[in-house]
Amino acid sequence: MMIRVDEDLCVGNGQCVVVAPEVFDQRDEDGVSVVLVDRPDGRLAELADQAIRECPAAAIARLTDDG
Burial of residue 24 (CB within 10 Å: 0-12, 13-18, 19+) is buried
Instruction: State the nearest-atom distance from the C-beta of 17 to ligand SF4, in Å.
Output: 7
Residues in the chain: 67
- Binding of residue 61 to ligand SF4 (CB under 6 A): no
Fill in the DSSP letter of residue 42: T
The residue among 16 and 66 lying less far from ligand SF4, judged by its C-beta, is 16
30-49: which residues touch ligand SF4 (CB under 6 A)?
Answer: 33
Q: Are 5 and 32 in contact (CB under 8 A)?
A: yes
The residue among 47 and 60 lying less far from ligand SF4, judged by its C-beta, is 60
Binding residues for ligand SF4 (CB under 6 A): 5, 10-16, 33, 55-57, 59-60
